[in-house]
Structure 1
Amino acid sequence: MQWIPLTQPEQLTDIVRESAEQPVVIFKHSTSCSISAMAKTRLERQWPDADLGQVKTYYLDLLRYRPISNEIAQQFDVRHESPQLLLIRDGNCHYSASHMNIQLGEIRRQLL
């Protein structure tokens, strides 16, 4: 799993464009929250076995880039949560989950 830092609002345009060619995941992480850290560690540990190599992965440091998180909520019509994982395909959010409800198996089902 190789995280692409999401640090510029303009990257959301890229994500929408990329999602037409391959699925994109955005992980919103609060670096000061132990639950968020646990969710991130769990994602990274389970990713290799989830067979999601075709998915591009973006990482948003929520504390440093909160305005981008707000833009994500508005653009993809999701409620802001942290930690939160979103699956973007064809410019739309097809899966959104937070905290320990984040399930890579559900991401796989969405891609079948």
Structure 2
Amino acid sequence: MLKKIDTIEQFEELRKTEGKFYLLKHSLTCPISLEAYKEYEKFAGNNEEIPTYYLAVQDSRPLSTEIAERFEIKHESPQAILFSEGKPLWNASHWKITNRSLAEASSEK
């Protein structure tokens, strides 16, 4: 199940409490982002053991910027990031966000 986060505080709580989780940076106005969201949603439904979160870039600009700057991951949207123990292990953007790529990344890391 996808859960939306909006604030830096919510993200910090995830980093403390979740061992491994995905975060999707999603644009509400981009058709490519919509397709990535659908793939992410499919992955989440098939892999409930891995927590899946997302942020809407338009609603959560400070959080999106904070993640890009803190982890030195160039901001893109859509962008999926796999975190483990509070650190990013893998990320992909645009058409590279697929149910398959998400599953492969989570099983390898």
> TM tier, shorter chain?
0.7 to 0.9
- Between Structure 1 and Structure 2, the one with more helix by share is 2
One-letter amino acid of the structure 1 residue matched with residue 4 of structure 2: P
| RMSD of equivalent CA atoms | 1.5
Q: Please tell me the residue identity of whatever aligns with 1:108.
A: S
Q: What fraction of aligned residue pairs are identical, expressed as a percent?
A: 32
TM-score, length-normalised on structure 1? 0.84
**Which residue is equivalent to 2:33?**
36
Cα distance in 2, alignment partners of residues 110 and 76 from structure 1: 21
Q: Which residue of 2 aligns with 1:107?
A: 105
- TM-score, L = length of structure 2: 0.86
The equivalent of 1:16 in structure 2 is 15
Map 1:44-55 onto structure 2 (within 5 A): 44-49=41-46, 52-55=47-50
Query: Kindly tell me: are residues 109 and 68 of structure 1, through their superposed partners in 2, closer, same or farther at Cα, counting changes over 3 Å?
Result: same
AA paired with 2:33? Answer: S
Q: Give the unaligned 5+ runs of structure 2.
A: none
Can you give the 5+ residue segments of structure 1 that lack an aligned partner in the other structure?
none
Alpha-carbon distance between aligned partners in 2 of 1:54 and 1:45, rounded to the nearest angstrom: 13
Runs of 4+ in structure 1 over 6 Å off: none
Shift of 1:75: 2.3
